[in-house]
Amino acid sequence: MSDQNSLGKYLVNLPPEISSDDEEYMLANIGLFELQPVEMINTEIELFPKQTIPPSEPSLAEETIQPGPSTDLQTLESGLPSCPQRFKKMEENELQSLKENFHQSKSTKSNTKWGVKLFQEWCLESSDGHTDFNTVTKVDLNNKLRHFYAEAKPKHTEKRAQSMPQEHAGVYHKNSLKNVRAALNRHLTDINREIDIVKDNEFRQSNVILDSTLKMMVATGLSRPTKHKDIIELEDLRLISTYVFSNTEDAVLLRLKVWYCLAIHFVSRGLEFHHQLNLNSFDFKIDADGDEYVMVNHETTQKNIQGGVSSEEAPSDKFMYSNVAEKRFCPLSALKELIAKTDPNAKSLFNRIVKDLDVSSGASVWYTTQALAKRTYSGLMSDICKNAKCSKVYTAHCLRATAIQCMNDAGHELRHIMYMTGHRNESSIRSYNRHCSVGQKKITKSYLVENCNW
């Protein structure tokens, strides 16, 4: 065959010994077969028969909105229904207010202000005047910090000498000097300066002076140990528990009782947790064993958990169990009673007591809708200690330290304690469970006396 492109015009006459199904063999040996011309047939197959579709009638929308000669896009858009605005537009002053109110806590702002004020006072006394943080160069600021870290001294040394030795009163605590550096660094960030006096290489020399100053204080005996929160002694804990659970028909005691129990069981600092609670903050549940417990159903701001972009999520399943064995000491019963005795319109869990309240008259409401002031919480632990006749007056933060120490003494793993407290690293939690309890100290001392003849 002279023209292979004309193969489609022929049919193949296969020899009898070759099967028509053997396509590969047939194609490979196509030249062996006799080709005969045949008449081509129409191989087009109509898969879908043509149907005559009548033209559709115009819809109501097409009839009513037909753009005429004078109709433009604006006219068409005006006929569409208006949608409510989804996103709230924020003005620049609103954005600044949002940043100022929530970016940093009140205590952090106060610490920053103190550090900047201290540095500016040193500048005023030691140089020509205040330092303009908006324009100061890295070189100039580094040189000033070199002198500042070595020369910074407290202002009221006479007053400080009343509570510490005279030589200690004339120098800052090591943590105070570190806090000043952190405060200055925060201030530079707040005013949008791309300067980091802690990590930038330009401030290496000033940081060397700070490090040398702290080491000099240790070598010369001027460095004071860090004073941590006291751990409440076991006997004082018994006195406190006996006092707050002594009377169930006392509005003041009921409020103190619930405040104390929440601080212990939720491992809070005592001053930053309670004022964020309201009457609907709790979910009462039953576990698989039939024991009742309560959980807080919303997040709360804490010192180490502010809720920002880089903040870790606070533990959401911290709980407080009921005391089935001793119903008189049951924290859940006290919480339920406080909620029941509070005006249902109250926005806070802890509120002022109704004026001229007579509990004996069977009053159903003991607490008003007026929440306690934040400063009131700072005196609650002091009132408890004095009325319970404890060996010393403890602060509210001591409750948190005591709860951590108790979990440590009970043999709880460090990761479980960190989960309850919200700490993110082990070094932070170790500052709490650093001491032996009184019982452990006595056992250790007895062992040394008996075995080492001390």
Question: Residue 316 has what pLDDT?
Answer: 54
Domain boundary among 219, 249, 281: 219
Do 375 and 251 lie in one domain? The reply is yes
Q: Of 172, 182, 184, 197, which is closest to residue 131 (Cα–Cα)?
A: 184
Find the domain containing 213 and state its range.
Answer: 107-219
Residue 80 identity = L
DSSP 161-205: TTTS-HHHHTS--HHHHHHHHHHHHHHHHHTT----TTT-GGGHH
Phi, psi of 212 (to 5 degrees): -65, -35
Report if residue 71 sits inside a domain. Answer: no
The 10s digit of each residue's pLDDT in 415-429 is 777 777 766 666 666
Do 175 and 244 lie in one domain? The reply is no
CB 398 within 8 A of CB 231: yes
Could you tell me the CA-to-CA distances from 317 to 261, 272, 301 in Å, in that order? 17, 19, 15
Do 151 and 290 lie in one domain? The reply is no
User: With pLDDT > 90 as the criterion, what percentage of the chain qualifies?
Assistant: 40
Do 122 and 207 lie in one domain? The reply is yes
Q: What is the mean pLDDT of residues 134-150?
A: 96
And the tokens for 269? 């600092």
And the tokens for 81? 């229904």
**List of residues 6+ apart from 195 with CB closer than 8 A:** 138, 141, 188
Name the strand (E) or helix (H) holding 34. Answer: strand 34-37
Do 247 and 139 lie in one domain? The reply is no
Report if residue 94 sits inside a domain. Answer: no
Q: How far is CA 6 from the centre of its chain?
A: 81
Secondary structure class of 284 (helix, strand, coil): strand
CB 298 within 8 A of CB 275: no
The 10s digit of each residue's pLDDT in 52-70 is 555 555 554 444 445 555 4
Secondary structure class of 279 (helix, strand, coil): coil
Report if residue 328 sits inside a domain. Answer: yes
The 10s digit of each residue's pLDDT in 66-90 is 555 544 545 445 555 667 788 888 8
* pLDDT band at 10; cut points 50, 70, 90: very low
Average the pLDDT over each of 4-8, 172-176, 325-329 and give the range with the smallest value: 4-8
pTM tops 0.75: no
Name the strand (E) or helix (H) holding 295. Answer: strand 292-296
And the tokens for 184? 């200055």
Question: Residue 454 has what pLDDT?
Answer: 44
